[in-house]
């Protein structure tokens, strides 16, 4: 299950519209934005291929100028999930 951190960029004046669209996207969590059209998002998908497909879908959205991945991790197996 890959997890990615992303900066999704749009024009400053279109940020609100894009934020609303992204909130409706499965696998996308919004964590914040910088007021200049850059949105901080976390992406989750079931596989590497689905993650690529999700990024491609985001890139294809009308308001999106660029999807910049800043972090990408595959989940470890279930035996080391930090149980105390």
Q: Which of residues 26-65 bind another protein (CB under 8 A)?
A: 29, 31-34, 38, 40-44, 48
Per CB under 8 A, 73 contacts another protein: yes
Using the 8-state DSSP alphabet, how is residue 84 labeled?
Answer: -
Order across the sheet with 66-74: list the strands. 28-33, 38-44, 2-9, 66-74
CB nearer to another protein: pick between 62 and 70 = 70
Binding site for another protein (CB under 8 A): 1, 3-7, 29, 31-34, 38, 40-44, 48, 68-84
């Amino acid at each position: 299950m890959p997890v990615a951190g992303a900066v999704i960029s749009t024009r400053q004046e279109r940020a609100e519209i894009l934020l609303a669209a992204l909130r409706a996207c499965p696998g996308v969590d919004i964590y914040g934005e910088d007021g200049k059209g850059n949105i901080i998002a976390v992406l989750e998908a079931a596989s590497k291929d689905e993650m690529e497909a999700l990024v491609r879908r985001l890139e294809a959205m009308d308001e999106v100028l660029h999807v910049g991945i800043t972090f990408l991790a595959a989940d470890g197996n279930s035996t080391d999930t930090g149980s105390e």
